[in-house]
Chain A
Amino acid sequence: MAPSPHDTSGAARLPRLSLRGITKHYPGVAANDHVDLDVYPGEIHAVLGENGAGKSTLMKVIDGLVIPDEGTMRWEGEPVDFASPAKAHKRGIAMVFQHFSLFETLTVADNIRVALDAAHARRLAARIRDVSARYAMPLDPARYVHTMSVGERQRVEIVRCLLQAPKLLILDEPTSVLTPAAIDALFAMLRTLAADGVSILYISHKLDEIRTLCDRATVLRDGRVTGQCDPRVETTASLARMMIGGDLPHPVHRAAHAGRAALVVDALDVPASDPFGIALRDVSLAVRTGEIVGIAGVSGNGQKELLAALSGERTVERSEAITLAGEPAGHLGPRARRVLGLAFIPEERLGRGAVPEMSLAENTLLTMRAPPLVVHGLVRASRVGSRTEQTIERFGVKARGPGDAAQSLSGGNLQKFIVGREIEREPLVLIAAQPTWGVDVGAAAQIRQTLLDLRERGVAVLVVSEDLDELLEISDRLAVIANGQLSPAKPIRETSAEEIGQLMAGTGTREPQQAAAALVP
């Protein structure tokens, strides 16, 4: 249980924020179930839990974006109501979102101005430079946000929060868009802030980060608080047990023998398709049967463009730039590439990998519009149904049946369905983008195991992911994409986390990484 505000720590240590009995139901799930939380001035407090545990809902409650069904909130000892983001900001609560709340066609200065009340917005350019220098986060106020990298955008978002002189700063999974070096710089900055008396709520599911950074941790599971601890004295394993109620599953990684190259990319150039996009330059890669090749990289460095070129959603100029099963495939669309043995699991499940409003059976048809499911242009509904049932059963998808709408499934279950659907097509080459992003630990482990099993069955597997740990766990070889260029794929044993981190930062465009603490007067 969380300590009450008048605990042994004494009245002198009044929590800045105190939540009691927060409950929020969504149809079918309790996102938060009687959650208590106390945050003290100057502490870095982790909220730990896996995807779907209710962390983001809780933070949105604090920030006024979600109004809970039950519960009370005290701010600096005073009872307050759950109002709106505007009122939360007046109290001194600022939030850095996982998916940023920035406006791409506005400048940095306008992005910041729009978020500040008129009083704060004076002398803005000078103050932006002051704050960004103080916390070692250089920013040009006149730049347009759409010209910036993901890491730079996060900086804008953080500086914007800091200019509001917050008393409580909330960060939602901030490191998922950063290179290892930039993560170090971020942590240094957060420690400086905490030393200045700011409370920090740090949301993450990455155990190592929390052990390095945080003073205290509240663990959530299925919407309930399952533990409170000092993460510095816990082990990763003990934190994991609190988080998932068991030990972290590890997939079995047996040795396998790579065969012939099934997917070959040769000096692929793709111009940027939209003004905010990235151009691919001279990308070469070979994926052989019976191996998993991983592509690491910070999001927004050309992954989207590379995947579109590989899947056929975007055809490329030179057909020989992409070879599938020995055939030049650059000019072929997605259907023709499927005929050659390609299967693709996209990052966005709802709206791309599956049509949200359609049933699972109809979503089976999405990538299988050929005999025996479709004959002479007519859909054979019973065959589609039984094939869908088979996928649901084989891959342990929790659904009532083929008639369930894709959007009614949880993220993990829908991903199991999509992975299953693509594997049932018995592909020669499987490309998976962020296969376990936003998926609960159990489903993630099952999906990774499925990919490893495929590799043993002689399928050529390419995994593009921002989760470096995942790639290190399942890949045989690893390449890094940065700024539209791909490094040569190296066997996992011949590379190191440091080398990958440097490649992710991109040669010559490394983020500034001086320890921010040194700059504090």
Chain B
Amino acid sequence: MRAYLEARPRPSRLAVWLAPLFAAVATIVVGFVVFSALGRNPFAALHAFFVEPIATRYGVAEWLLKASPLMLIGTGLALAYRANVWNIGAEGQLTLGAIAGGGVALAIGDAWPSFVLLPMMFIAGALAGMAWAAIPAWLRTRFNANEILTSLMLVYVASLLLSWLVHVPWRDPEGFNFPQSKMFDANAMLPILLPETRLNASFLIALAIVALAWLFVRRHVVGFEMRVAGLAPSAADYAGISLRRTVWFAMLAGGACAGLAGVGEAAGPIGQLLPSMSPGYGFAAIIVAFVGRLHPGGIALASLLLSLLYLGGESAQVHLGLPSAVTGLFEGTLLFFLLAADVLVNYRPRIARAAVAT
């Protein structure tokens, strides 16, 4: 008897969509075990983690609010990952977006009306995110440097740049010496969608980008070309699809989305520039992209799941006295289970009958 994996003649579509469900359930089971091991009532803990945060209208609004940047960035990253371009520096591109958008808000303030200022902020943020992503794109296409490492290094550089800005030139003189900028003027703040919540217009922007990306990957020939480049680079060469252009497009799309998300955070729930503009959305969005199967629709759903993990972490801190870092633990576990389950997309497990001489 010998267990082995047999290649499927074609990938299983069922497994593609069941794998994330399996991963989510398995992660909850792990949570059950972890909470029990920590001496908490696991049912109460899971309730506090996954149900309590979204039991109120305000909670649902927070859920959608935190899902917005994840959805935006995840969609952008998925375009790149489909093309086998590994942008993992979205956190830095988000930071640059926040810097640029915030910079516009701070510089212009209430001199311009909101309907001019906000679009300007988003354009500035998208351009800054693209510029930051253009560095790894250029290094990859010009010097063949690995974009994984360069885009990640730039996350650290971006965060240090932001830190310097809020410590030195943009520090609020009336901020009791805290490293933070002035609060933005009201006309630089995104309109609230649901009264008495923090849910703002960035959620609509995220939905629009998801719809646009869906159309792009389903119908547009460049979406097709990028997928060819990702699946079979030799076939792309053969077809006359430029790998160089694919890298540029993939990196810039991801940078633009992350930049928009950065403006959304700055002009949304935060309202000023702080040394850190994101609790790791740029990295969590990598998981969103995979759990969402690199498909815009799936990413919209996956961003809700990961957003719930963020809320659950905060809730666990309040109600269970656990560090909110438990969020990161669950995120990693989710991705592990997803990768493990993905083996069933292309293989099925088989048991060989004994073929041994008598």
Contacts and interface: CB of A to CB of B under 8 A. Distances in A.
Given A357-B231, A366-B228, A334 B238 contact: yes
Nearest to A25: B6
Given A73-B357, A81-B357, A369-B221, A352 B235 contact: yes
Contact of A348 (B2, B6, B234, B357): B234
Contacts of A28: 9
A51 interface: no
B232 interface: yes
B11, B242, B357, B358: most-surrounded residue (chain A CB, <10 A): B357
A82 B235 contact: no
A378 B219 CA distance: 5
B352 A67 contact: yes
Contact of A366 (B10, B239, B355): B239
B357 A79 contact: yes
A336 B220 CA distance: 20
A27 B9 contact: yes
A353 B238 CA distance: 7
A27 B235 contact: no
B8 interface: yes
B235 A338 contact: no
Contacts of B11: 357, 405
Chain A interface extent, by class: 35 or more
Contacts of B219: 378-379
Contacts of A351: 232, 234-235
A72 B235 contact: no
A379 B353 contact: no
Nearest to B215: A378
Contacts of A68: 355
B357 A374 contact: no
B295 to A, nearest CB: 15
A357 B9 CA distance: 10
Chain B interface extent, by class: 20 to 34
A68, A74, A334: most-surrounded residue (chain B CB, <10 A): A334
B356 interface: yes
A37 to B, nearest CB: 15
Contact of B238 (A346, A378, A404): A346
A345 to B, nearest CB: 10
Interface string B57-88: 00000000000000000000000000000000
A335 interface: yes
Nearest to A346: B238
A130 interface: no
B357 to A, nearest CB: 3
Contacts of B110: none
B353 A377 contact: no
Interface in A338-396: 338, 344, 346, 348, 351-358, 362, 365-367, 369, 374, 377-379
Nearest to A83: B356
B7 interface: yes
B220 A378 contact: yes
Contacts of A348: 234
Given A68-B355, A334-B240, A354-B235, A365 B9 contact: no
B224 interface: yes
B229 to A, nearest CB: 10
A312 interface: yes
B221 A377 contact: yes
A219 B99 CA distance: 73
B147 interface: no
A313 interface: yes
A314 to B, nearest CB: 9
A333 interface: yes
14 contacts: A28-B9, A67-B355, A70-B353, A74-B357, A79-B357, A82-B355, A356-B231, A358-B228, A362-B224, A365-B221, A369-B221, A379-B221, A407-B9, A407-B10
Given A82-B356, A358-B227, 15 more contacts: A27-B9, A82-B355, A334-B239, A334-B240, A335-B239, A357-B11, A357-B231, A366-B235, A366-B239, A369-B221, A377-B220, A377-B221, A379-B219, A379-B224, A405-B11
Interface of B: 2, 6-11, 219-222, 224-225, 227-228, 231-232, 234-235, 237-240, 242, 352-353, 355-358
Query: 5 shortest A-B CB distances, which residue pairs?
Result: A334-B240, A79-B357, A335-B240, A352-B234, A72-B357
